Structure 1
């Protein structure tokens, strides 16, 4: 066997060279080929441009991918959401939220409630943002009105994140048929029955404004509320109860007369005849509305005073001022006739009284004539309780009642005596009956009453007639003692009356304004009066006035006057008028100011 002299490896018998090291079998190395290196060829300009473009394209694609990834990231979406809410940007917010409910409209109007809610509850918004950052978008167990959601890919490569809102529904209920219901100012339905209830929606989570409105024959009732749609329950209820109530009117009559009437609410005529249907509504019973009743009585049509509706059960308002005056005139006349009837011992002098009252008077006359006494007397004044007027219907007749204090200067004396006239006052309750044949009210009965109220009106018999048994009569000025009128009241009335004349004649309301309480009923009425008369060129002259009564109750006072005025018109004509007024004054610091005129 042969072995290589160089590396010792076994050689094949016919081998000329060692296969491992290349040494010849005789020990000489194998000649090596000289390796030739080919000359390097330079890259062309075109190839350089292609290579550079390829590298740039890769860089741009990589940068674009990273940019797209940033713009479509969860963080970018949440940043937009947070910024839109912080800046109260409804348009921007509507672009970053979505919903799976195709019935839910998401736009700049419907998301305003969401902004409102988080504006009023910033700590909840901070918690929401933190929670959204921690959500993966794939956890379907997450519950709440607002959640992060990942749904497929955007632009083929990127995860598609969405801020998903839960749809909410509102069940609205209300009292009355025809009530118009609104959510966020948009009408959603009209009640088709009393006790109406219906579900509306869906709505974006947040604070939503609710309203109910009903236009009735009497007024417009309205209710406003707000509701927060944020809880786990997606169906929330709201009861929009209108503040109106049905009112029951008590006419205060023992029997129901066959008359026609009209109900007025807030000064407007309604279609309700309270003598046929004594309930009406719905109306407000908080005192903000008024009612009055007009009746076609046998003595003419009369309308009551307006009274505030402050209860669901109202009594018939007091008779009108005109009707009160009719009754006042009748009582005063009968009081004067009573003095004459006693002096002449003749019940027939009671011309404005019923046979019943004439008989009562005769019983009194018979008493002192039996004692062989005579009577002299004159009516001095009658003080009426203006809150005591009542009207009733029974036994097919109309009755009226009023309380009044009557004062006479009188004396009952024997044959050998001279009359010593002194003032006597009694508090009476007068009952009158309407005589349809005579077409007038007659005094039917006079009883006693304990006392009168504070709201009074005094009628002074300025030219009292002294009746004597011999039939002679003497007219003299009344000497009835009146309540002392404080100098402050006298000065107030003098300044006010003369100031009002100056205001009318010179278009200068400042002349009378200081003597009235600003914004009072009287102040507003006299502003209108001065404007009206001056615009028509009408002037007035205060001929005379007298304070006929004064009463004071704490910081309030009542002053009654008789005023004689000459009114001159723009056409050169004039007329004289006499007025009986009742003023209300209130204390303002150390001064008194007028507030009301009746």
Structure 2
């Protein structure tokens, strides 16, 4: 029977008292010397060192994997994710906040993370971070929702807070304003220059910085806005900057033939549009630091209006003057006309005029023919002329109307009388036309100045006359006689028209030549002129005719039909027909009116 080592279990030679395999010493007992059989011992497997290392590593890995899975399952759980998120907010760990959030499938920026943290820490009613319980946190915060967004390590669910996107609509005072949120520029969803919608942005409390840099000013402002609408409704915000735009309107009151009009600012020309508007000049600080110069280029030269130190957001400019060049040209012609007026009237000679149109020359010659026929003389001088260029009006490009006051020292008298010189003021509107053939301006009409008297006149320029006295050239004989009825009719009609002129001009002297002094009619018409002037009433002769002349002793009764328009101070107009009987008497040289019935 084989013999086995009790130590290693290997078979041994029976003749040996030790194991030839492991060296174990054998001690045989008396029982062993007999028939005792020792059972074989299981021989253990002998591993190499490399095998033992591998086996140890596998065992360690297995332990690590089991522990890691257990830890990961806990760490990446929804509850722990919420705890880490709240901790990141409290510790202002913006990078971790970015890792734990997303919006519309994208990561949020650091600026958004900062705004989100600020909102949570400063505005508790938007985000409540007082609880780390996931269920409570979810129920109390409707700006975010925890969602499963992929895998961590390809094993664990990746939970993130999905944020409700926010939108802000900025109302800007003007265009070209740059805006940042927490110092970051975001793209605009909608851009209408002065109305810009930004988004999506993460919920948060943002610092808004708006800035503008232009040619006329630089401006900036800082503000705070909260974006925390759980339904993604747009939040509206007005941006305030210490700068505004200014609007200009040019009123062409004198109807100047404008070729070009603009505002000059800092050597830059900003043009008016076809409606004579500049809708928005600026933006700028309305503190008077910016000066604008309105310039209007016309067919008759350039007009520069007064500088404007801009302090308002709207200016209405009035073009009521003309270029200096045009004023000088017109003034020269008007002064020449005034000097020629006294010279021509003294000589009763219309050919003296060189500054009038042929039409005006013919009208004056008709007047002079009457003076010669009836022995009317004129002696006088031009003292000065006052002109109101602010009320100059262009009718056409080459035709203007200008109010003027002519101051004379003069006398109109009969051939057998001596001149009684006194001050005389003629307030007229001069109609002037440019003669392209002669290349100069000419007087085409000199009519009464509307319904105004010399007292209403406001001068913007004064031209000094020569004050050279021109004496009348008297006729050698008395005026040629005229058919008496013709004289009476002419005098009566002249009286009717002159009376209306006297009322409108508040100047009784205009009708006095046709009324006998100290007659009843003289007193009545002086009172009439004064009364109607006080009431502000004006008149206009629509029609006047003499229907009958009847001799009555040394006088005549003249019947007229008259249509007169009355203009009240309120602007109301009334036209009436009248029939009057005038008493006309002869004074040896002519006839005049003495009474009315």
- Please tell me the TM-score bracket, short chain as reference: 0.3 to 0.5
Instruction: Provide the TM-score with structure 2 as the length reference.
Output: 0.46
Q: Which has the larger radius of gyration?
A: 2
When normalised by structure 1's length, the TM-score is 0.46
